[in-house]
Amino acid sequence: MNIVKFNIYILYIFNNLILNVMNESLNFNLIRSGEYQDKAIIMIHGWQGNKDSFKFVVNLLDVPNCAWYFPEAPYDFEDNPDKKTWAKEISPGVWTVEKPKRMLRKFIEDEVLSDFNSEDVFVLGFSQGAAVCYELICSFTHPLGGIFPVGGFMREIYKNTQLKSLDFKPAQFNRPILIGHGRDDHVVPLESSEKAYNLLKKYCKNIDLYIYNGRHKIGIEYLKKVKELILSKYIKA
């Protein structure tokens, strides 16, 4: 290979690396409440959702002085750009979440932690978004303000009771974790959250499971509990 061809090859590789980095940025909405923001909440939507799916939670939760981030999953569901998913089927029955995990981690570090201390950042994930909480947020090396998976599940590989397989970092062992699930959920069974709770409580000192009346949705009672946990950190003695 002569020097000209070699330089062209290097330029090609460099351009592709740049394109890959650019393509690994998540779309998101940002809503600010109050005159200033001393905390942030990241809302992770579920299967077939998008960055607009849970903006209504801002008014329901009504947390003052808060920046709300709504990242959007990178994969289209059945080629529909308005319906997104955090997992991609790479072969029949085999799903990958590695790229979304990497993209979401980058999003949190670049967009959120650049403005807030990690302990002022709270993560709320619904359904598939709750699964993302378990897989990504629980592997974060920064201690978070709180983690709130609701109506979700851990992937099948996490039936193993060894936390080593879960990649759950010690940074979250003392952080508030409130798992929520509707009693009559026929989409993701209550048992899924119970199994997650029974595994994590072996290691986490500040974890609870809240079961509310309802189906596959975010319960109002659960949101009240989440709000109490968040605001308790900011009540001045």
pLDDT tens for 44-58 read 998 888 888 999 999
Question: CA torsion sign, 133 to 175 to 123 to 222?
Answer: positive
Rounded CA-CA distance 137/154 in Å is 12
Please give the pLDDT value at position 112.
Answer: 96
| Residue 41: pLDDT over 50 | yes
Secondary structure of residue 109 in the 3-state scheme: helix
Catalogue all structural domains in the chain, each as residue range(s) with its CATH number: 24-232 (3.40.50.1820)
From 87-96, 114-123, 191-200, 202-211, the region with the lowest mean pLDDT: 87-96
Report the pLDDT value the prediction gives residue 162, as an integer from 0 to 100: 52
How many CB atoms are located within 10 Å of the residue 12 CB? 10
Q: Is 93 within 8 Å of 156 (Cβ atoms)?
A: no
pLDDT of residue 163: 52
Burial (0-12, 13-18, 19+ Cβ within 10 Å), 19: exposed
144 secondary structure, DSSP code: P
H helices of the chain, in order, are 3-22, 57-61, 98-107, 128-135, 163-166, 190-200, 220-232
Burial (CB < 10 A; 0-12, 13-18, 19+), residue 2, is exposed
| pLDDT surpasses 60 at 27 | yes
Report the alpha-carbon distance of residue 4 to residue 44 in Å, rounded.
Answer: 47
The first and second tokens of residue 157, run together, are: 């590989």
pTM attached to this predicted model: 0.83
Cα dihedral 214, 220, 226, 227, rounded to 10, equals 180
Amino acid at 194: E
Q: Which of 2-11, 43-52, 79-88, 185-194 has the lowest mean pLDDT?
A: 2-11
Looking at residue 12, its pLDDT comes to 40
Greater confidence (105 vs 167) lies with 105
Split at pLDDT 50, 70, 90, the class of 172 is confident
Q: Are 32 and 116 in contact (CB under 8 A)?
A: no
Q: How far apart are CA 132 and CA 151, in angstroms?
A: 12
> Which residue type, as a one-letter code, is found at position 231?
L
pLDDT in tens, 63-92: 999 999 999 988 888 888 888 888 777 777
Percent of the chain beyond pLDDT 90? 49
Report CA 60 to chain centroid distance, whole Å: 19
d(CA 43, CA 65): 16
